Structure 1
Amino acid sequence: MKVASGRTRLLVACGATLALLLPLAWSWWSSLLPATYDVASMGYVDTGGGPGPVGHGVPGSHGEHGSGKGDRAVADLIEDPARPADVRFTLTVTQQGDRILVNGTSPGPVLRVTQGQLIEATLVNSSVRGGTTLHWHGVDVPNAMDGVAGVTQDAVPPGERFVYRFVADRAGTYWYHAHQLSHVQVRQGLLGALVVEPTHPSGPATQDLVAVLHQYDGKPTLNGAPALHADVAPGEEVRVRLVNTDNTQASVWVTGAPYRVLAVDGTDLNGPTEVSGRWIGVTAGGRIDLGVVVPPDGVRIDVDGTTVITLGSSPAPAVVPAQPRQELDLLDYGTPAEPGIDVSDPERRFEYEIGRRLGFLDGRPGRWWTINGHLFPDIPMFHVEEGDVAVVHIVNRSGETHPMHLHGHRALVLSRDGEPTTGSPWWIDSLEVGTGEEFEIAFVADNPGIWMDHCHNLPHAAEGLIAHLMYGGVRSSYRLGGGNEPE
């Protein structure tokens, strides 16, 4: 009896161990990524309540929901090849230790074009290890020009080149950066600003100053320097284009004069009013244009209290002015106007809930980001048809802030925490979603392709905070892995 009892206890112990280990083994095994894979077959289809892709799996199932199907390949979604370029640039990228230079500098050159021009930009990879690409952040380029390795092109290896062709159809402030190993290459300096000037400028002429925010080896800079100065005569207005290339939001405040927020993420605000005594946040990946009329004593613009822009003849004081207590809220800033999009009866409604939990990411144990409760690569593939209006409800329950960026589209902010916008239409491509916050945004599906929708705190993206937006009738042309590592 004692022997039998001992065997029973042993069997029970073995069964309990198996009950514990088998689910862990399954979770580990199912998290492993193949050597190469098609982004269109990742995760599960989320139709947002609209019609789904014909003949594909039901939501929640794995399967080929776009791979090899569709009458348009990603590689064919380009500008008219017969149209000649209006302006051409060559951007040569070089690896120098842990720094990447663009045409010998970092940040790379500011590219200035006029609205409506067709840009032809040739990327030459002189020596960047692991290959590279260029993503045109905020510009609604054709899908094949989006620069995402493994999704819209193959990474460009050292010694090779790639030509990007796209029309700069919206005036505004944008930027370009690597989207191959982006969490590494952007930090190392593969980036620069793109300014699209309006065909017919309105209002009085102003000075124009681009300020690219970037940390090199943990040291904050503006255009690669500790500070930035512009000689401006009293009474002149300056348009200061702030480009945040870092992974976290920047706090900006102005001392010496009021300011106006002229544009957010490349779109002008309607009826911007003067602001004093408030700071404004510039989302990671986002851009904000400030309008400042310079008084006789000059103006000081502080960024996080670590770098400074001075306008006018007076030098910056040695003591950093205190950051104002109140933040400018874009939810009610500016003057209401028709946004040009009807969201009363959208074709799609998507949930994008950000969380965090223990699990495996490609076999690595950790506490990883989740989307709608799922760990990468079992994440949603948001499905739309061309012409759809889509409303996205973004909820952040992860305990950390996330700057969310949808490629290929701009989105209209409808509400935050249930409170609707009451000011100017607030269009974004990079949105700061604080911990516990909820946003509703809307966009028109007017740019066919397969598009990333991810956190622009780029290490977060590398840790799995990535989903995709996919149009019906589009099929993949490239594969992730095998040298294509977008994050």
Structure 2
Amino acid sequence: MRSKRPRGRRPRLAVAYAATAAILGPLIWLWQGSLLPDSYSVMTMGYADYGGGPHASSSPTAPGAETVAHHEHVPQAESGRDVSRLIADPDRPADVAMTIVARRQRFRLPSGRAFDGYTLNGTSPGPAIRAVKGQLVQVRLINESVPGGVTLHWHGVDVPNAADGVAGVTQDAVGVGGEFTYRFVADQAGTFWYHSHQMSHEQVRGGLLGALVVAPARREDAGAGPIVDVEALVHLYQGVRTVNGHEGDLRIAAPPGSRARVRVINTEYGLMPAWVSGAPYRLIAVDGTDVNGPAQVRDEAVAVAAGGRADLEVTMPEDGSPIRVHLGGPSGIVLGSTSYHAPPVPRPAATLDLLTYGARAPLTFDPGKPDRRFDYAIGRRPGFLDGVPGLWWTVNGGLYPGVPMFHVTEGEVVRMRISNDSGEAHPMHLHGHHAVVLSRDGVPATGSPWWVDSLEVGVGETYEIAFVADNPGLWMDHCHNLPHAGEGLTAHLMYEGYTTPFTVGGRAGNEPE
């Protein structure tokens, strides 16, 4: 005889099923909605943010090559608007030409310590590239053995968009056996660097990086005596701090009475303090832009953002005493002549405030009358990123890919408010442009115009920045703590009327972060 089910069991099961569906249904929907396709254009991600400016079509016009020098206007009606056509003059011969071969290999630092990672021309860091302002630089990249592909991004150099080196945005990653040639005019003197922008959170840390220095065409102070000029690229290899690939102190000869320019490059993911002991110094450039009227600094450190650069100038003592430039810790650059005995000193308690440092100077545009106003509000919340649950970064409240695409038109003045309520600091890096800092937490800048391409936005801080949209294309605007970028802290700046033929993922396996 069949047993009967207990009275009331069926309604209770129905309620349980309904409750489960009510809980899981939205989660499944959120999970499904977060999944990214195997191949997609960043232009289709998120939503258009016009910043209060006019809306325009982003559809390409008739195909045709676009050859532009930096800041040269290309009439939209005559251009193909394909970002891969935004190149330097193809008929102009290169002034600086070199080939860089990327490899995955075990390499040794000068100390003898060995690492498994990546090299450029057999070393890490890769070869320093030096040019003079106005020269055309040509770099042929060959991928000999880096699995997954490789690119080169010219950090801080406002190159034509096709040379920006971002996999899936401005080019395809260069696979094993492939090559790609970058060409750009070095039209700004200053300190820069280059690194891979394919799987950058892994490849940069593993060694695919190098220094790039652009000297002025002529020294305005040519009669002021000799200058010792040295780049100081700081990088950690599996926790080992190095300067230009050297562990410990790097000793540089500097005659008494000479001036020394130390070009500090922070390739790491966090803020790095730099300070000088043995003499006062001046901060003469930030992110490749000269400071106007730099005053002498004593007992203060300079905070160098991840990806950022700071040029420090010191005058060597007449008695030959050495000077130490500290780079995030006890090791660094020791400048000397007869002696290099300069013991480390603790970091100064005070940090130089670039909001007030230097002398004011007029800008070439009016940031008080912008054509576009954007908000870049950084937060954090739980959710799904490409199907993976976690606590992810947000832009304007949205998880990637639901983030803004900032639309601009060439020639416009752009103003952006960057705020950070995420609980962690973020070094924000806008490709292809330099922006001037207008204020921090509502306090206006009163010193030298503070131009940046890598800006540290601390916890709870809000910055107002401005720039002119004078370099057409499609540009990343992301956190240069590279794991953060891979965790969703990435947006893009897109010029109206320009498109990219490249996709993230796909057969090229493009993974920009």
Q: TM-score, normalised by structure 2?
A: 0.90
2:73 is matched with none
Question: For residues 359-438 of structure 1, what are the structure 2 equivalents within 5 Å?
Answer: 359-438=383-462
Sort the Cα spacing of 1:170 and 1:218 in 2 relative to 1 into closer, same or farther, 3 A.
same
Cα pair 1:119 1:165 within 8 Å, conserved: yes
Among 93, 103, 123, the residue aligned to 2:121: 103
Pick from 287, 295, 301 the counterpart of residue 279 of structure 1: 301
For the 8 Å contact 1:380–1:467, the answer to whether it is kept is yes
Counterpart of 1:292 (choices 314, 318, 326) is: 314
Aligned counterparts, 1:422-461, within 5 A: 422-461=446-485
User: 2:263 aligned with 1:241, yes or no?
Assistant: yes
Contact (CA 8 Å) 2:323, 2:342: kept in 1 or not? no
Residues 285 and 291 in structure 2, CA contact (< 8 A), matched pair in contact too: yes
- Tell me what 1:475 maps to: 499
Tell me, in whole angstroms, the C-alpha distance in 1 between the residues paired with 2:236 and 2:503: 32
Does structure 2 conserve the Cα–Cα contact (< 8 Å) formed by 1:239 and 1:289? yes
Q: Is the 8 A contact 1:178 1:186 kept in 2?
A: yes
Q: CA deviation at 1:317?
A: 4.3
1:410 maps to amino acid: H
Cα deviation, residue 71, structure 1: 4.2
Q: 1:365 to 1:409 in 2, by over 3 A?
A: same
Deviation at 1:6, TM superposition (A): 3.5
Matched, 1:354 2:395: no
Question: How far, CA to CA, are the matches of 1:339 and 1:229 in structure 2?
Answer: 39
Gaps of 5+ in 1: 57-69
Q: 1:316 to 1:369 in 2, by over 3 A?
A: farther
Shift in CA distance, 338/55, structure 1 to aligned 2, threshold 3 Å: closer
Match of 1:315 among 340, 343, 355: 340
SS at match of 1:354: strand
Q: CA deviation at 1:471?
A: 0.5
Alignment of 1:59-208 (within 5 A): 71-97=80-106, 98-203=116-221, 204=224, 205-208=226-229
Q: Aligned ranges for residues 196-275 of structure 1 at < 5 Å? A: 196-203=214-221, 204=224, 205-226=226-247, 227-275=249-297
For residues 15 and 27 of structure 1, the distance between their equivalents in structure 2, rounded to whole angstroms, comes to: 18
Q: Which residue identity does 1:9 align to in structure 2?
A: R
Could you tell me how far apart the structure 2 residues matched to 1:144 and 1:253 are? 37
Deviations 1:374-401 (A, max 9, x none): 0011111000011111101000010001
Q: 1:309-348 residue pairs with structure 2 within 5 A?
A: 309-313=333-337, 314-318=339-343, 320-348=344-372
SS of match in other structure, 2:296: coil
Aligned twin of 2:110: none
Q: How does 1:41-60 map to 2 (within 5 A)?
A: 41-54=44-57
More deviation, 404-413/307-316: 307-316
Which residue of 1 is the match for residue 23 of structure 2? 20
Distance across 1 between alignment mates of 2:504 and 2:341 = 49
Deviation at 1:30, TM superposition (A): 0.7
DSSP-derived class of the 2:465 partner: strand
Which letter does structure 2 place at the counterpart of 1:385? T
2:42 to 35, 39, 43: 39
What is the TM-score when the length of structure 1 is the normalising length? 0.95
C-alpha distance in 1 between matches for 2:218 and 2:340: 35
Cα distance in 1 for partners of 2:203, 2:428 equals 19
User: Which residue type is aligned with residue 217 of structure 1?
Assistant: Q
Q: Give distance in 1, aligned partners of 2:399 and 2:352.
A: 35
Once the two structures are superposed, residues 184-232 of structure 1 have per-residue CA deviations (whole angstroms, 9 ceiling, x without a partner) of 0000111001111111211134110110000011111101112211111
Separation in 2, partners of 1:357, 1:32: 17
Amino acid across the alignment from 1:425: P
Contact 1:402 1:455 in 2 (8 A): yes
Q: Equivalents in 2 of 1:290, 1:4: separation in Å?
A: 83
In the superposition, relative to structure 1, how do residues 16 and 55 fare at CA in structure 2: closer, same or farther (>3 Å)? farther
Offset of residue 82 of structure 1: 1.7
CA positional deviation for 1:305: 1.7
- What is the letter of the counterpart of residue 227 of structure 2? T
Amino acid at match of 1:49: G
**3-state SS of paired residue (2:364):** coil
Aligned equivalents of 2:55 and 2:24: distance in 1?
37
Shift of 1:74: 1.2
Alpha-carbon separation, structure 2, partners of 1:280 and 1:4: 76
Q: Which amino acid aligns with 1:274?
A: Q
Q: Give the AA of the match of 2:198.
A: Q
- The aligned counterpart of 2:70 is none
Equivalent residue for 1:30?
33
CA gap of 1:206–1:47, structure 2 versus 1, over 3 A, is same
Provide the aligned C-alpha RMSD in A. Answer: 1.4
SS in 2 for 1:72: coil
Q: Distance in 2 between matches of 1:208 and 1:315?
A: 17
1:55, CA displacement in angstroms? 8.8
3-state SS in 2 of match to 1:315: coil
Quote how far apart the aligned CAs of 1:341 are. 2.0
Which residue matches 1:59?
none
Q: What is the Cα deviation at residue 10 of structure 1?
A: 2.5
Mapped partners of 1:362, 1:26: distance in 2: 13
Q: How many residues align?
A: 472
The answer to whether 1:486 aligns with 2:512 is yes
Distance 2:7 2:44 in 1: 52
TM-superposed deviation, 1:254: 0.8
How far 1:13 moved relative to its partner? 2.2
Matched AA of 2:98: F
How many angstroms does 1:4 deviate by? 6.3
Deviation at 1:5, TM superposition (A): 4.0
